[in-house]
Every structure is written in structure tokens, then in C-alpha cells.
Amino acid sequence: MKIMTCPVNGPRAISEFAYGGEIRSMPDPATCSDDEWADYVFNRNGSPGVKREWWCHLPSNTWFVAERDTARDVVLRTYLYEGEG
């Protein structure tokens, strides 16, 4: 089974984790257009590549960021979320 490294709990079997999708920044709902909002809600960056993703270590309920190459399923780096930028 694949191994994912939780920044708090260390390397664990992937079955202990939940995938939360790519980290996407929310447009300002007050100022964005309807189309921009719909794009945020529904559209995804569906092509393979290195993505910043949400992952949760379930037993400890730790959400963190994984940088993962989705073409090869290789986790390059994991770390706790520190905000954007």
C-alpha cells in the first residue's frame, strides 16, 4: 500500500488518509462574477501534474498539504497548511 507522510504523525499507510482535492483559492464572493464563482465551484484542474492537495490523516484528524505528482502518484512533500503565498 502506498505511504503518505503526515507532517504530525509520520509515514502511514494511505488507507489512514482522506483526499481533499486540489487546494483552490476561493474568489471573493462579494466581488466576483457569477461565472467566476461557478468556475470555482465546479471546474477543476483535471490534467496531471504536480498539485498542492488537501489530505487528512483520519485517526488524528490532521489536515495538511501534500505536493503530489498525480501522473506518477509520487508524493514530493507534505507539510502543515500555513496559508497561501
Q: Which three cell numbers stand for residue 72?
A: 506518477
Q: Are 62 and 17 in contact (CB under 8 A)?
A: no
Q: Is 56 in the site for another protein (CB under 8 A)?
A: yes
Binds another protein by CB under 8 A, chosen from 7, 16, 67, 70 = 70
Binds another protein by CB under 8 A, chosen from 48, 76, 77, 79 = 48
Using CB under 8 A, count the residues that bind another protein. 35
Whether the CA torsion 60, 65, 70, 76 is positive or negative: it is negative
Edge-to-edge strands, sheet with 50-57: 17-22, 50-57, 62-69, 74-79
- Which residue's C-alpha cell is 504536480? 50
Q: Is 59 in the site for another protein (CB under 8 A)?
A: no
Interactions with another protein, residue window 10-29 (CB under 8 A)? 15, 18-20, 29
**Binding footprint of another protein on the chain (CB under 8 A):** 1-3, 15, 18-20, 29, 32, 34-35, 37-48, 51, 54, 56, 58, 61, 63, 70-73, 81, 83
